[in-house]
């Protein structure tokens, strides 16, 4: 399973359910990387997406959604161990942490600077044995962490 995320130097990944920086090339990279793929996101991230159709309301914030970007629908998933490896985890923090044991490739845009936020990513780097810079833009770089 793959994952994609952008994180500032102080490990901020969000503020008020939004990304606290604007890096057009990173948005372009995200779109290129995820187009045609299925994504797993948590409830808060799902609620911020411009979906044309939403799944039924959930009572638990910890549920994960599997999103098909082709038809913009979502469904609740409960057992991630049976999912195929072409799925991409795309946020938020609780979803990344929950799925770290299944993530074999983690593409992280390292955003220069520290940002004020309310969502931060815990340490994960020690779970991966290899690091490789795969993209650089706007003084930021994407590092692929792999097992």
Domains along the chain with CATH numbers: 2-134 (3.40.430.10)
Q: What is the pLDDT of residue 96?
A: 93
Mean pLDDT over 65-76 rounds to 48
pLDDT at 49: 66
In this model, does residue 127 exceed pLDDT 50?
A: yes
User: Using the 8-state DSSP alphabet, how is residue 139 labeled?
Assistant: T
Cα angle 24-14-57, degrees, rounded to a multiple of 5: 110
The larger pLDDT score, comparing residue 79 to residue 41, is at 41
pLDDT digits over 35-55, tens only? 877 788 877 777 776 543 444
- CA dist 89 and 91 (Å) reads 6
Mean of the per-residue pLDDT values of the chain: 81
pLDDT at 103 over 80: yes
- pTM of the prediction? 0.82
End-to-end CA distance of the chain: 11
- Do 104 and 45 touch, CB atoms closer than 8 A? no
């Amino acid at each position: 399973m793959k994952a994609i995320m952008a994180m500032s130097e102080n490990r901020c990944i969000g503020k008020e359910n939004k990304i606290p920086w604007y890096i057009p090339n990173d948005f372009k990279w995200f779109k290129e990387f995820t187009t045609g793929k299925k994504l797993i996101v948590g409830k808060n991230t799902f609620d911020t997406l411009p979906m044309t159709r939403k799944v039924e309301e959930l009572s638990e914030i910890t549920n994960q959604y599997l999103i098909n970007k082709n038809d913009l629908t979502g469904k609740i998933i409960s057992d991630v161990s049976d999912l195929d490896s072409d799925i991409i985890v795309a946020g938020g923090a609780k979803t990344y942490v929950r799925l770290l044991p299944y993530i074999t490739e983690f593409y992280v845009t390292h955003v220069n600077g520290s940002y004020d936020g309310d969502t931060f990513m815990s340490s994960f780097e020690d779970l991966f044995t290899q690091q490789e810079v795969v993209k650089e833009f706007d003084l930021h770089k994407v590092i692929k962490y792999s097992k």
